[in-house]
Structure 1
Amino acid sequence: MARPGHSAWFLLVSTATLLLASGASAQGSCANATFPAGRSFARCSTLPVLGASLYWNYHAANGTAELAFRAPSATGGWVAWGINTDGTGMAGSSVFVASQSANGAVSVLMTVLESFSPSLKNGTLKFDVPVGPSAEYGGGTYTMYATVALPGNATQQNTVWQAGPLSGGAVSPHPMSGNNLKSVLRLDFLSG
């Protein structure tokens, strides 16, 4: 015969163990990533949609984050990551967009998404980028690197990311349904 309260205690311990295991599993999916020699990151977050992950080192002394964004894509596709200083959606975001040309050269465009039909002109962002972006493609995945000055020197930022197709070598609109509409997250660069 079970003691009174024993079942509740067992349920509480089981639930806590399950939550810890699921957290470790989610963390493990990005924590085991490898990068080229000379690159390592103290923190990571498996983003909730589009198979993407963000890795970073936060430097409190100057309010910057050295980061890597990784997302799967076909060779005929593009991926993007950025910060929205004006709100929580895509419009108004300052983003990095990685894609590759027909000859396989990978490039990164820096642009502000001024509307839901942006012009995608390469330019400056709404925050400083002390170390300009670079990207690589391999194994069906883009990885972009950059160092950004976190807007307002605030560790909590509204982040956005996206993926879509190329058409004739140019960035085409991403799907306007499903996970493509869920790719926003308020992220704390200090605590993760």
Structure 2
Amino acid sequence: MGFHFPPSLLLLVCLCTTLISAIHATDCSSLKLTGGKKQYSNCTVLPALNSTLHFTYNATNSSLSIAFTASPSKPKGWIAWAVNPTATGMAGSQTLLAFKANGSMVVKTYNISSYSSIVEGKLSFDVWDLEAESDKDGKMVIYGSLKVEVSAEKLNQVWQVGPGIVDGHPMKHDFDKANLAAVGELQLVEKLSPAASSPSPSPQSANSNSGYGMSVTEINAGFWILGLISLIAFM
């Protein structure tokens, strides 16, 4: 004799499964860095080029530590992450660019004054602890720390991937839709709404979840599940 579940119960199971999947999809704590030798307070899936950013903002000394992860567009290519202090695009970007040279990963700095001028040079702010690594699948990670403006709440970030290096110079990246979309704001300090009664325990990016405690998505999903259970109980 088999078991027969009422349609309402099956509907509840399906909805709960969908909601739980959505929760896990936004749980950035599941992102793992290659090597995993450093820990960061926040992480976010960037909206283009299959890339991620882990970061820790230290307001006491106005510094930002980052780990940017992406795959170059070709096996011998490069990846880059940048801050633009004056605009929202590539021109003016202060860039950390990583690639493999003679079998070892290196990170170089580029002050990109224009789209036609990509010259290695000193950035407009201090950077330190620069290093990079890659895994067997070709994914690369740039590690570094940089000085930001005192009391900064957000930064204009730009990231990119490229096909290769010629005579020590990075080749131009593609200008596909994903490449052009690789810009955005990095929220260093979470802005509270006027109705908020208590400060956030730690800074978060606009679309990140550090994995400590429950996110707004998780709480909302919990209320939905409880509401559905109550509704079906009276059906």
Q: TM-score, normalised by structure 1?
A: 0.81
Report SS of the residue matched to 1:179: helix
The residue type paired with residue 84 of structure 2 is N
User: Which residue of the partner structure matches residue 7 of structure 1?
Assistant: none
Shift of 1:167: 4.5
2: distance between equivalents of 1:31 and 1:62? Answer: 29
1: distance between equivalents of 2:175 and 2:159? Answer: 14
2: distance between equivalents of 1:37 and 1:76? Answer: 23
User: Which residue of the partner structure matches residue 41 of structure 2?
Assistant: 42
1: distance between equivalents of 2:63 and 2:97? Answer: 20
1:127 aligns with 2:125: yes
Give me the identity figure in percent.
Answer: 30
Shift of 1:55: 0.3
User: Which residue of the partner structure matches residue 187 of structure 1?
Assistant: 186
Structure (1 or 2) with the greater strand fraction: 1
Measured on the aligned residues, the alpha-carbon RMSD in Å equals: 2.3
User: Which residue of the partner structure matches residue 4 of structure 1?
Assistant: none
Task: List gaps (5 residues or longer) in structure 2.
Answer: 1-14, 189-202, 206-235
User: Which residue of the partner structure matches residue 67 of structure 1?
Assistant: 66
User: Which residue of the partner structure matches residue 138 of structure 1?
Assistant: 135
The residue type paired with residue 172 of structure 1 is M
Q: 1:126 to 1:152 in 2, by over 3 A?
A: farther
User: Which residue of the partner structure matches residue 98 of structure 1?
Assistant: 98
Q: Is the 8 A contact 2:34 2:135 kept in 1?
A: no
Deviation larger for 47-56 or 159-168: 159-168
Report SS of the residue matched to 2:113: coil
The residue type paired with residue 204 of structure 2 is S
Q: 1:108 to 1:41 in 2, by over 3 A?
A: same
Q: Is the 8 A contact 2:63 2:146 kept in 1?
A: yes
User: Which residue of the partner structure matches residue 229 of structure 2?
Assistant: none
Report SS of the residue matched to 1:151: coil
Shift of 1:127: 1.8
Give deviations 1:55-108, integer Å, cap 9, x for gaps. Answer: 01111111111111010124311000011101100000101000112x312111
Please list every run of at least 4 consecutive aligned residues from structure 1 whose deviation after the TM superposition is greater than 4 angstroms: none
Task: List gaps (5 residues or longer) in structure 1.
Answer: 1-13
Q: Is the 8 A contact 2:132 2:142 kept in 1?
A: yes
Shift of 1:33: 0.7
Q: Is the 8 A contact 1:79 1:97 kept in 2?
A: yes
Aligned residues: 174
2: distance between equivalents of 1:144 and 1:82? Answer: 11
The residue type paired with residue 130 of structure 2 is P
Q: Please tell me whether Structure 1 or Structure 2 has the larger radius of gyration of its CA atoms.
A: 2
Q: Is the 8 A contact 2:34 2:141 kept in 1?
A: no
Report SS of the residue matched to 1:50: coil
Q: TM-score, normalised by structure 2?
A: 0.67
